[in-house]
Structure 1
Protein backbone atom coordinates (compact mmCIF):
# COMPACT_ATOMS: atom_id res chain seq x y z
CA UNK A 1 0.00 0.00 0.00
CA UNK A 2 1.42 3.42 -0.96
CA UNK A 3 1.25 6.50 1.16
CA UNK A 4 -1.76 8.78 0.65
CA UNK A 5 0.54 11.54 -0.62
CA UNK A 6 1.91 9.28 -3.39
CA UNK A 7 -0.29 11.01 -6.00
CA UNK A 8 1.41 14.31 -5.17
CA UNK A 9 4.91 12.89 -4.75
CA UNK A 10 6.41 14.59 -7.81
CA UNK A 11 4.92 17.96 -6.83
CA UNK A 12 6.10 17.59 -3.23
CA UNK A 13 9.63 16.72 -4.35
CA UNK A 14 9.66 19.72 -6.70
CA UNK A 15 8.57 22.00 -3.87
CA UNK A 16 11.19 20.55 -1.52
CA UNK A 17 13.93 21.04 -4.10
CA UNK A 18 12.83 24.65 -4.48
CA UNK A 19 12.97 25.07 -0.69
CA UNK A 20 16.42 23.50 -0.67
CA UNK A 21 17.51 26.11 -3.22
CA UNK A 22 16.03 28.88 -1.10
CA UNK A 23 17.96 27.65 1.95
CA UNK A 24 21.19 27.62 -0.06
CA UNK A 25 20.36 31.14 -1.18
CA UNK A 26 20.00 32.30 2.42
CA UNK A 27 23.32 30.67 3.29
CA UNK A 28 24.92 32.64 0.48
CA UNK A 29 23.21 35.82 1.64
CA UNK A 30 24.68 35.34 5.11
CA UNK A 31 28.13 34.71 3.64
CA UNK A 32 27.74 37.98 1.72
CA UNK A 33 26.62 39.87 4.86
CA UNK A 34 23.30 40.84 3.29
CA UNK A 35 20.78 43.09 5.00
CA UNK A 36 18.86 41.50 7.90
CA UNK A 37 15.42 42.32 6.50
CA UNK A 38 16.27 40.61 3.21
CA UNK A 39 17.32 37.50 5.14
CA UNK A 40 14.17 37.55 7.25
CA UNK A 41 12.01 37.94 4.15
CA UNK A 42 13.62 34.89 2.57
CA UNK A 43 13.33 32.89 5.80
CA UNK A 44 9.61 33.74 6.00
CA UNK A 45 9.20 32.50 2.41
CA UNK A 46 10.97 29.24 3.34
CA UNK A 47 8.75 28.81 6.41
CA UNK A 48 5.61 29.38 4.34
CA UNK A 49 6.79 26.96 1.66
CA UNK A 50 7.53 24.21 4.20
CA UNK A 51 4.13 24.76 5.81
CA UNK A 52 2.46 24.30 2.42
CA UNK A 53 4.28 21.01 1.92
CA UNK A 54 3.37 19.87 5.41
CA UNK A 55 -0.28 20.86 5.02
CA UNK A 56 -0.46 18.95 1.75
CA UNK A 57 0.88 15.83 3.46
CA UNK A 58 -1.39 16.42 6.46
CA UNK A 59 -4.42 16.65 4.20
CA UNK A 60 -3.43 13.47 2.37
CA UNK A 61 -2.95 11.72 5.72
CA UNK A 62 -6.34 12.89 6.97
CA UNK A 63 -8.17 11.93 3.78
CA UNK A 64 -6.27 8.65 3.49
CA UNK A 65 -5.06 7.06 6.72
CA UNK A 66 -7.44 8.72 9.16
CA UNK A 67 -10.52 8.38 6.95
CA UNK A 68 -9.64 4.73 6.28
CA UNK A 69 -9.31 3.98 10.00
CA UNK A 70 -12.65 5.65 10.71
CA UNK A 71 -14.36 3.92 7.79
CA UNK A 72 -13.11 0.50 8.88
CA UNK A 73 -13.53 1.23 12.60
CA UNK A 74 -9.92 0.20 13.22
CA UNK A 75 -7.78 2.20 15.63
CA UNK A 76 -9.83 5.30 14.82
CA UNK A 77 -9.20 6.89 18.24
CA UNK A 78 -5.49 6.21 17.86
CA UNK A 79 -5.42 7.80 14.39
CA UNK A 80 -7.37 10.84 15.57
CA UNK A 81 -5.04 11.24 18.57
CA UNK A 82 -2.05 10.99 16.24
CA UNK A 83 -3.58 13.58 13.92
CA UNK A 84 -4.28 15.95 16.79
CA UNK A 85 -0.69 15.60 18.04
CA UNK A 86 0.59 16.62 14.61
CA UNK A 87 -1.79 19.56 14.45
CA UNK A 88 -0.64 20.68 17.91
CA UNK A 89 2.96 20.70 16.65
CA UNK A 90 1.96 23.14 13.89
CA UNK A 91 0.10 25.58 16.10
CA UNK A 92 2.81 25.92 18.76
Structure 2
Protein backbone atom coordinates (compact mmCIF):
# COMPACT_ATOMS: atom_id res chain seq x y z
CA UNK A 1 0.00 0.00 0.00
CA UNK A 2 1.42 3.39 -0.92
CA UNK A 3 1.66 6.29 1.51
CA UNK A 4 -1.23 7.90 -0.37
CA UNK A 5 -3.38 4.78 0.00
CA UNK A 6 -2.57 4.54 3.71
CA UNK A 7 -3.43 8.21 4.21
CA UNK A 8 -6.71 7.71 2.37
CA UNK A 9 -7.49 4.59 4.40
CA UNK A 10 -6.93 6.49 7.64
CA UNK A 11 -8.97 9.47 6.44
CA UNK A 12 -11.90 7.17 5.67
CA UNK A 13 -12.26 6.46 9.38
CA UNK A 14 -11.94 10.01 10.58
CA UNK A 15 -14.86 11.12 12.68
CA UNK A 16 -15.42 14.79 12.05
CA UNK A 17 -11.77 15.23 11.09
CA UNK A 18 -10.44 13.34 14.14
CA UNK A 19 -10.16 9.57 14.19
CA UNK A 20 -10.93 7.63 17.35
CA UNK A 21 -8.36 4.88 17.40
CA UNK A 22 -8.42 1.79 19.60
CA UNK A 23 -5.40 2.88 21.64
CA UNK A 24 -7.02 6.16 22.74
CA UNK A 25 -7.92 4.80 26.20
CA UNK A 26 -4.22 4.00 26.76
CA UNK A 27 -2.82 7.08 25.04
CA UNK A 28 -1.15 8.47 28.17
CA UNK A 29 0.54 5.13 28.90
CA UNK A 30 1.84 4.91 25.32
CA UNK A 31 3.14 8.48 25.47
CA UNK A 32 4.88 7.77 28.78
CA UNK A 33 6.53 4.65 27.35
CA UNK A 34 7.60 6.46 24.17
CA UNK A 35 9.10 9.33 26.18
CA UNK A 36 11.06 6.77 28.20
CA UNK A 37 12.29 5.19 24.96
CA UNK A 38 13.25 8.64 23.68
CA UNK A 39 15.37 9.10 26.80
CA UNK A 40 16.99 5.71 26.24
CA UNK A 41 17.84 6.72 22.66
CA UNK A 42 19.45 9.94 23.91
CA UNK A 43 21.36 7.83 26.42
CA UNK A 44 22.69 5.75 23.54
CA UNK A 45 23.97 8.88 21.84
CA UNK A 46 25.74 9.85 25.05
CA UNK A 47 27.25 6.39 25.39
CA UNK A 48 28.74 6.62 21.91
CA UNK A 49 29.89 10.19 22.51
CA UNK A 50 31.57 9.08 25.75
CA UNK A 51 33.08 6.07 23.95
CA UNK A 52 31.51 3.49 26.25
CA UNK A 53 32.21 -0.21 25.86
CA UNK A 54 30.68 -1.70 22.66
CA UNK A 55 28.84 -4.50 24.45
CA UNK A 56 27.23 -2.04 26.88
CA UNK A 57 25.96 0.03 23.94
CA UNK A 58 24.66 -3.09 22.18
CA UNK A 59 22.89 -4.15 25.37
CA UNK A 60 21.14 -0.78 25.54
CA UNK A 61 20.21 -0.95 21.85
CA UNK A 62 18.61 -4.32 22.55
CA UNK A 63 16.63 -2.79 25.43
CA UNK A 64 15.38 0.09 23.24
CA UNK A 65 14.47 -2.31 20.45
CA UNK A 66 12.56 -4.52 22.87
CA UNK A 67 10.72 -1.51 24.32
CA UNK A 68 9.69 -0.33 20.84
CA UNK A 69 8.53 -3.83 19.90
CA UNK A 70 6.43 -3.93 23.06
CA UNK A 71 4.74 -0.64 22.14
CA UNK A 72 4.19 -1.88 18.57
CA UNK A 73 2.62 -5.13 19.74
CA UNK A 74 0.33 -3.27 22.14
CA UNK A 75 -0.81 -0.91 19.38
CA UNK A 76 -1.30 -3.82 17.01
CA UNK A 77 -3.39 -5.71 19.56
CA UNK A 78 -5.59 -2.68 20.14
CA UNK A 79 -5.86 -2.05 16.39
CA UNK A 80 -7.07 -5.59 15.81
CA UNK A 81 -9.51 -5.44 18.72
CA UNK A 82 -10.96 -2.08 17.73
CA UNK A 83 -10.41 -0.97 14.13
CA UNK A 84 -10.31 -4.38 12.49
CA UNK A 85 -13.27 -5.74 14.47
CA UNK A 86 -15.34 -2.69 13.48
CA UNK A 87 -14.34 -3.03 9.82
CA UNK A 88 -15.15 -6.74 9.77
CA UNK A 89 -18.56 -6.00 11.28
CA UNK A 90 -19.12 -3.47 8.49
CA UNK A 91 -17.99 -6.05 5.92
CA UNK A 92 -17.32 -5.68 2.22
CA UNK A 93 -14.46 -3.62 0.82
CA UNK A 94 -13.89 -1.88 4.16
CA UNK A 95 -13.23 -5.21 5.88
CA UNK A 96 -10.99 -6.42 3.07
CA UNK A 97 -8.93 -3.22 3.12
CA UNK A 98 -8.57 -3.22 6.91
CA UNK A 99 -7.51 -6.87 6.98
CA UNK A 100 -4.92 -6.26 4.24
CA UNK A 101 -3.64 -3.24 6.14
CA UNK A 102 -3.32 -5.26 9.36
CA UNK A 103 -1.57 -8.10 7.53
CA UNK A 104 0.93 -5.66 6.04
CA UNK A 105 1.60 -4.13 9.45
CA UNK A 106 2.20 -7.58 10.96
CA UNK A 107 4.55 -8.44 8.10
CA UNK A 108 6.54 -5.24 8.69
CA UNK A 109 6.85 -6.05 12.40
CA UNK A 110 7.98 -9.61 11.70
CA UNK A 111 10.61 -8.42 9.21
CA UNK A 112 11.99 -5.73 11.52
The bucket for the TM-score relative to the shorter chain is over 0.9
Stretch deviating more after TM superposition (54-63 or 72-81) = 72-81
Task: Identify the structure with bigger relative contact order (alpha carbons < 8 Å, sequence gap 6+).
Answer: 1
Stretch deviating more after TM superposition (70-79 or 6-15) = 70-79
Residues 14-50 of structure 1: CA distance to partner in whole angstroms, max 9, x if unpaired? 0001000100111000011000000000000000000
Number of aligned pairs? 92
Match of 2:107 in 1: 88
Return the TM-score normalized by structure 2. Answer: 0.79
Match of 1:78 in 2: 97
Instruction: Detail structure 1 runs of 4+ shifted over 6 Å in the superposition.
Output: none
- Which ranges of structure 1 fall in alignment gaps of 5 or more residues? none
Match of 2:60 in 1: 42
Return the TM-score normalized by structure 1. Answer: 0.95
- Which ranges of structure 2 fall in alignment gaps of 5 or more residues? 1-14
Q: CA deviation at 1:73?
A: 1.3
Partner of 1:87, secondary structure, is helix
Within 5 Å, which residues of 2 pair with 1:14-25?
14-25=32-43
Match of 2:6 in 1: none
| Alignment RMSD | 0.9
